[in-house]
Copies of this chain bind each other. A is one copy, B any other.
């Protein structure tokens, strides 16, 4: 099936999923995720491309209550520390946000990356050794979109201490901890990102961040229409 052309209807389903994906923190329902569904989501991640076909990822499915409680404690400590870096006004706002669903989401998922998989000789990794991490992040986005296509929400918790995750779950030193994710069915998928809804940030106008041929370069004659299309479509999207 993989070499089939994608129809317009199928293409639109992909865009609907990409535009409808959210970082979910507070809308989790306790309904369990069946293993069949979890397997499809993990296999979608596994079908990301990877530099030199090294497939550097591992996944830890975390459902144990006590372990999640420890992660929640790490989050609380880190959030308190990070809050001190904001001005007082911003700090109160920051502390009012719900930023994770560690205990409410029925499944937590740790994603790691193994830079040593297949030894030192991996095609394409000589010039940019960090690319194994990039591959693992591509796998995470596959997972996130597959979950959305299963109507399952995903929240990425980046307010945790790497050392805590390593200690709680016994992750060995040669493995990079990349992401702590919360997965579960949700009451609904909001129209906007949370931080936009609460007025913390807004979507940037993409046309200001696309250059041509060089950094800050302007479009040639044949691409003069692109910034305007980005502006219009971005406003609609």
Contact = CB atoms under 8 A, between A and B. Distances in A.
Given A57-B209, A138-B137, A213-B64, A223 B35 contact: yes
A217 B146 CA distance: 25
Contacts of A32: 222
A43 B233 contact: yes
Report the copy number of this chain in the oligomer.
Answer: 2
Interface of A: 1-6, 9-11, 13-23, 32, 35-36, 38-40, 42-44, 46-49, 51-55, 57-64, 67, 78, 81-82, 85-86, 90, 94, 97, 99, 118, 120-121, 123-128, 131, 133-134, 137-138, 140-142, 144-146, 148-151, 156, 158-162, 169-172, 175, 178-179, 188-191, 193, 195-196, 200-201, 203-204, 206, 209-217, 219-220, 222-223, 225-226, 229-230, 233-234, 237
Contacts of A206: 42-43, 46
B49 A144 contact: yes
B126 A81 contact: yes
Contacts of A55: 203-204, 209
Given A78-B127, A137-B134, A156-B49, A42 B210 contact: yes
Contacts of A169: 213-215
A67 B220 CA distance: 14
A77 to B, nearest CB: 10
